[in-house]
Homo-oligomer: A and B are copies of this chain.
């Protein structure tokens, strides 16, 4: 069985593993309350896993889509079958470009091949995407590690990182994006502490807290609302977030609430970094205005799931169903608020991203 290249720091968990016939995913909708794995055997199940956020995080969405395509292709899959599966998977979520990047890469690889060899080629290419994501995690993490090392050298206390949503190993094949520098710093013996914002309405901050606690890295949960006060009070030395799509000019779509943190960081003079693999950069998108923003079901705002007094999972309605709600899932942080973007090529100011990566290399 192929597993993600390196495990959960504490207990060898994997966001995704596979045996060439099926994909086993960690169902993130059950976390942090329950550890549940799901066996995904069809392209429809893969599409459902992405849509329902059983898997989430831009890199992991791309990887799951690639495997979903592999699941779609029987022996002798013709062009129509290939395109139908790409269309199904491509329609699951609009904002994270890694989904479309992975599907386009699969199409370019598979379309020229004879139908009878496409299935095996698809599994191999999906594995390559997974392996490369893990390598990208490590590479961009090492660039971020240098930032943390520099801060640790200056400060005589733990380095404090504020993040948003979850851009840890749960969102990727390996170390994560925003959290990769944190894991590498911890492994290098540098004391690091993380402020994890709740990230309403889906509460992915609890995933961040869960994975950091497992790795024995100090983490403090805070309300999304607390970012300005905490940055004013000097609670963080830098902010690092992930990304769902980075436009060519550096404007960055990420989980809703990211831009508020960027505004507060700018106002307080705290450096604000975006960490993502090159597959998150959309060179065809000149700026953030072209990034589609997903609006999800308003029920995400009305319903909350947790454990009751008897340790049973319970979903409760905190607002009546009649209440109108608007639930955009992402926002766009303008490049002018971003100190630097970390990818596997290094770190660059948003305006120097093309020079850092080479436009061609990123396509």
Question: A: which residues have CB within 8 A of B?
Answer: 32, 195, 198-201, 203, 206, 209, 213, 218-230, 232, 235, 255-257, 259-260, 263-264, 267, 293, 298, 301-309, 314-320, 322-328, 330-332
Question: How many identical subunits does the complex contain?
Answer: 2
Chain B: minimal CB distance from A175 (Å): 22
CA distance in complex: A301, B221 (Å): 8
> Which of B223, B306, B319 interacts with A209 by CB under 8 Å?
B319
CA distance in complex: A267, B235 (Å): 23
Measured CB to CB, the nearest residue on chain B to A304 is B304
Q: When the two chains form their complex, are residues A220 and B318 in contact, meaning their CB atoms are under 8 A apart?
A: no
CA distance in complex: A302, B203 (Å): 11
Chain B: minimal CB distance from A10 (Å): 15
CB-CB under 8 A from A221, the residues of chain B are 298, 301-302, 319, 323-326
Q: When the two chains form their complex, are residues B228 and A318 in contact, meaning their CB atoms are under 8 A apart?
A: no
Q: When the two chains form their complex, are residues B257 and A223 in contact, meaning their CB atoms are under 8 A apart?
A: yes
> Lowest 5 A-B CB distances belong to which pairs?
A225-B257, A306-B316, A229-B331, A228-B259, A306-B318
CA distance in complex: A323, B222 (Å): 11
CA distance in complex: A195, B309 (Å): 34
CB-CB under 8 A from A222, the residues of chain B are 301, 325-327
